[in-house]
């Protein structure tokens, strides 16, 4: 019986690490597509005195609730401060984001940085990793929240 020597084991480990990094990259690029798998029905909300959209999320989204994800997007500041520990992340730049009326609520999420760490707001695309929580019931809050978030390299 022939056995692997150290060199083959080394190469197998490198291939495994490369495959894992490719999987994380694919997950990051496809995450907005998965989060977009939601439909909405309109209903009058007597508490808010307005018509609200009620989301119906897909099973693929439900599986992500409480899981760590990595996602790319654009930071939308919540205050005039240069650094913030809580901001919005949008699939689109601020000029075409959900809050400007040009996209749906499934294209934005609120982000809370790990340990309340403040990060500098930028107009460039960023990659964020954290725990995703889904809110399909409370119309006064966003559909997605990312907690314990950290900026990672693009």
Query: pLDDT truncated to tens, each residue of the chain (154 aa)?
Result: 555 566 555 555 545 554 444 444 445 458 999 999 999 899 898 888 888 888 999 999 999 999 999 999 999 999 989 999 999 999 988 766 665 666 778 899 999 999 999 999 999 999 999 999 999 888 778 899 999 999 998 6
Q: Are strands 108-113 and 83-84 parallel, antiparallel or unpaired?
A: unpaired
Q: What is the pTM of this model?
A: 0.74
Q: How many helices (H) and strands (E) does the chain have?
A: 2, 9
Task: Look at residue 140 in the predicted model and tell me its pLDDT.
Answer: 73
Q: Domain limits of the chain?
A: 30-152
Task: Look at residue 28 in the predicted model and tell me its pLDDT.
Answer: 47
* Intra-chain end-to-end CA distance of the chain, in Å: 45
Task: Look at residue 67 in the predicted model and tell me its pLDDT.
Answer: 97
The CATH number assigned to the domain with range 30-152 reads 2.40.50
């Amino acid at each position: 019986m022939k056995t692997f020597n150290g060199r083959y084991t080394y190469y197998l480990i490198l291939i495994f690490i490369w495959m894992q990094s490719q999987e994380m990259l694919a997950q990051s690029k496809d995450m907005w597509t998965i989060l977009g798998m939601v439909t909405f029905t309109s209903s009058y909300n007597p508490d808010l005195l307005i018509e609200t959209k009620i989301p119906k999320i897909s099973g693929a989204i439900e599986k992500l609730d409480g899981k760590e994800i990595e996602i790319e997007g654009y930071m939308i500041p919540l205050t005039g401060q240069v650094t913030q520990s809580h901001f919005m992340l949008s699939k689109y730049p601020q000029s075409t984001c959900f809050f400007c009326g040009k996209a749906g609520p499934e294209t934005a999420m609120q982000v809370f940085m790990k340990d309340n760490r403040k990060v500098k707001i930028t107009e460039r695309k960023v990659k964020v990793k954290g725990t995703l929580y889904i809110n399909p019931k409370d119309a006064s809050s966003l559909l997605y929240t990312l907690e314990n978030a950290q900026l990672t390299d693009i």
